[in-house]
Structure 1
């Protein structure tokens, strides 16, 4: 009976059998934890005792929390400035996509930041900015007469951490675009050259349209990287000075898993807000990509 059913529906069932392991893992490790986080966000719970249902109480408290708005503002700054990784990574990829002597050495040098741990990047830039002996501090002191303690100054601390994050992020985007450039159709490039296209016209009308898949992945990983910027903030400033460098992921950790009281419900509410922001950006870009593809 089963054998006859399988033979009759093999072509229709085979794809689902291949998808099943991945779909089950996605359900267990992604969808169920998301649903549990949303449920916990409606609770007053320390992670050990009995949870108490408080409805939207955590979200009401969030709406009145100045630390939340500071973290949200910093995340917006992270998102805006992290997008610089896209044009920077593309330009470096175009530069490296050449067959000249020594290009492999240059590729290795530009690839190097990507393989370094974020913790190591944070420590390196902490020394780079360090008052008294840091290279950046010394350069500013030499140029202006007065050094700037970037990580101790409320005006500059967020931008200093973002600069540290952009270094490996640009390398990541560069790798994605290098892969995309290897798949650019050479016949289209040659046809465009015969038509007189070169420089920016070649890039805009011939190269970039073929890099849409790479651009999509680059935008997604850049948005995710900007919103999950916990490690650099933790290593470089621990949220300081006076909480001014907090981002939502670090604020969530502070509330849920640190000495602030193990407020799992409040931390889950922050996580839900962070997830919603991430989904808005990524869904919007997916919709734009789908619309562009259907209009072609």
Structure 2
């Protein structure tokens, strides 16, 4: 190999590394390092300012007898299950918006709108929507002669009310992913399916959805992460109430580490580690399943 060819080969090899290096360093410093730091802090009794006292696995043992932890864990499971509704909802809205009809730009703008507003605004909007005095929900119920319902003040319904609020922007996000995926669907496969008399559900299931697997993968991962880190809506809409019934692990971690509970950084870090492990298990199982499906083909 000549010197000029070797130089060009080295440049081609080094270029990707040089471009990726800043992002990798950023990811390592702000994501990977804090994960291991949280694992280390979870082994200590620490208020965030004074000296640390090593307690080993005591924080995790205490979690096993913490009723508030189990309430938060149960609510996170409910979030995980119901938040998955955003994926099929986003898909069907994307299929609707992929049509060529009059006023479609307006429809796209309306469905896209929840994605561009912050979670704080979403929380405030739905807090007003659920208000038992003047909220739109109870106004509509009043038209049918039904009494006011205090969604955010009822231990049974509060978590479902917050999840419904979260589904609004999450569905919009999944919709955007699927619209992008639909733009990349091979039209030749669509035509071939039509020649084979495939239409409706068969066209969707056997021809369109297999080509949307990358979008589905991203949608599931992002939705799972969104369900497990559901902090802002809980904080804005209920602050964990009533009586802690709407807590999730992310909010309970905040309460223990930074709130009036005594700044127990070690205990909060233990909750964060549990939340991280749940997230990793869920996503790993999904990745393995996707890999096996791809290998099977």
TM-score (norm 1): 0.95
Q: Distance between the aligned counterparts of 2:182 and 2:152, measured in 1?
A: 38
- Pair 1:260–1:175, CA change in 2 (3 A): same
SS of 1:128's partner is helix
Alignment of 1:200-219 (within 5 A): 200-219=201-220
Counterpart of 2:240 in structure 1 is 239
Aligned residues: 294
Counterpart of 1:26 in structure 2 is 27
* 1:228-271 residue CA offsets vs partner (Å, 9 max, x unmatched): 11111011111000000000000000000111111100000000
SS of 1:243's partner is coil
* 1:74-126 residue CA offsets vs partner (Å, 9 max, x unmatched): 00000100000011000000000022221111000000011111111111111
- Pair 1:195–1:270, CA change in 2 (3 A): same
Counterpart of 2:258 in structure 1 is 257
Q: Distance between the aligned counterparts of 2:201 and 2:5, measured in 1?
A: 60
- 1:58: how far off? 0.5
Q: Distance between the aligned counterparts of 1:268 and 1:157, measured in 2?
A: 26
Counterpart of 2:122 in structure 1 is 121
Name structure 2 gaps, 5 residues minimum.
none
Counterpart of 1:188 in structure 2 is 189
Counterpart of 2:113 in structure 1 is 112
Q: Distance between the aligned counterparts of 2:74 and 2:229, measured in 1?
A: 14
Query: CA RMSD for the aligned pairs?
Result: 1.7
- 1:19: how far off? 2.7
- 1:17: how far off? 3.2
- 1:11: how far off? 4.9
1:141/1:148 contact within 8 Å kept? no
Counterpart of 2:43 in structure 1 is 42
Counterpart of 1:157 in structure 2 is 158
Counterpart of 1:17 in structure 2 is 18
Say whether residues 1:277 and 2:281 are aligned partners: no
SS of 2:293's partner is helix
1:257/1:264 contact within 8 Å kept? yes
